[in-house]
Amino acid sequence: MSQQPERPYIPATFPISIKGVVLDPEGRVLLLKNERQEWELPGGKLEGGDTPEQRVETEIREESGWKATAGPLLDVWMYEPLPGRRVFIVTYGCTAVDADRPPVVSHEHKEAGLFHQHEIDGLVMPQGYKDSIARWYALLDRS
């Protein structure tokens, strides 16, 4: 019986996307509409020497004009936005210091929206984002 030559182990690699759940003073969560017509949290790909916290703060500023501070880690999960394309998602609860003004829509998104907690379930968006939003509201309710 002939043996197959051993192939070296090659680990799977995925892009890492750092997302932030950030609320305005009225308790509405900031969401952005992407090219797939889905709502998503502000954030972006982890690259270079940034920490995940630095990346989410930068992305919130670039995508909404709001200055935010990263808080607790809320969730990590795998997302398949397109068949065969998987992304590792990391979400943080964030606090914005200037969320009293409307968000500015960047060139990366079609629309920005502010939604109350009870509106989230009815939106077209991945369940993982909905879970992260619910977790942030729950943590804020405890404090």
Spell out the domain ranges in the chain: 16-142
Q: What pLDDT, on the 0 to 100 scale, is given for residue 29?
A: 97
What phi and psi, each to the nearest 5 degrees, are found at residue 25?
-60, -20
Q: What's the CA dihedral at 68, 72, 78, 80 to 10 degrees?
A: -20
- Looking at the domain covering 16-142, what would its CATH class be? alpha beta
Whether the pLDDT of residue 1 is over 60: the answer is no
Yes or no: say if 135 and 75 are a contact pair by the CB < 8 Å rule.
yes
Q: What is the pLDDT of residues 51-105, one digit of tens each?
A: 999 999 999 999 999 999 999 999 999 999 888 889 999 999 999 989 999 999 8
| % residues pLDDT > 70 (the chain) | 98
pTM surpassing 0.85? yes
Whether the pLDDT of residue 11 is over 70: the answer is yes
